[in-house]
Amino acid sequence: MAGIPVITVDGPSGAGKGTVSHMLADALGWHFLDSGALYRVVGQACLIEGVSWDDHPAVAAIARHLQVSFSAAPSGEILVAYKGRDVSREIRTEEGGRGASTVAAIPAVREALLVRQREFLQAPGLVADGRDMGTVVFPAAPLKIFLTASALERAERRYKQLIEKGENVSLPRLLEDIRERDARDSSREVSPLVPAEDAIVIDSTATPIGDVFAQVMQKVREKGLIKA
Ligand code: DC
């Protein structure tokens, strides 16, 4: 796989990683890895198979044999299937997020997903979205972005999204969930959520996503990943 470029985009949930990563992959015509979706599918697969998220050996076995597939709907939306069953909607719920964060703290699960994530590195290039893309999965990436925003800003963004979907949610509850998930993701022993030493840290709290994208594209040019 040497020679195929990868751009890593890490950070906490709600910082805008997904949006910026998609925009980047589209602009460059590169592949896209949504690593969070893999952890979410493991959590969902446990629910489907009747495995408790706390049963580490059983969760790890699910991760090792995970039958997951990604496809694009005519609308452009990415559909995610487990054993051929569409789980796109379930994995994006608050419970889906909790399951992902819980199973992601299990070392054997992370190890099982490592190989699978590296398989996404294919020509002409890859944009990899996650928590440990720059630190663990693709440590040699020529460009590493760490995108962050305040917990309140991230909770408010999530609140707006869920209200638009017609869901009944409370902002204080979402803020509490985000803080809990940040604490779990940042304090776990394996692959905690931290910027790589050579990552460029961008705070999107008060910056529109279009401006964040422009900053990242500037770095892409400076690194010579596309012609200036
Ligand atoms: O990016 P996301 O919100 O879909 O991620 C869901 C959870 O999965 C998140 O709480 C942490 C975990 N995760 C991880 O540990 N490592 C990754 N590379 C991606 C996600």
pLDDT score, position 33 = 96
The 10s digit of each residue's pLDDT in 108-141 is 999 999 999 999 999 999 999 999 999 999 999 9
The Cα–Cα gap between 144 and 216 comes to 10
CATH topology of domain 6-221: Rossmann fold (3.40.50)
The Cα–Cα gap between 150 and 33 comes to 25
Nearest to 157 by CA among 11, 5, 6: 11
The 10s digit of each residue's pLDDT in 58-74 is 999 999 999 999 998 88
The 10s digit of each residue's pLDDT in 158-188 is 899 889 988 888 999 999 999 998 888 888 8
Q: Ligand 1 centre from 12 Cα, in Å?
A: 8
In one-letter notation, the amino acid at residue 156 is E
Pocket residue to mutate for ligand 1, from 40, 93, 98, 131, most atoms within 8 A of Cβ: 131
> Of residues 162 and 214, which shows the higher confidence score?
214
pLDDT score, position 14 = 87
Pocket residue to mutate for ligand 1, from 35, 161, 178, 179, most atoms within 8 A of Cβ: 35
Q: Ligand 1 centre from 9 Cα, in Å?
A: 12
34's enclosing H/E stretch is strand 31-34
pLDDT score, position 94 = 83
The 10s digit of each residue's pLDDT in 10-41 is 999 889 999 999 999 999 999 999 999 999 99
Protein residue with its CA nearest to atom 11 in ligand 1: 101
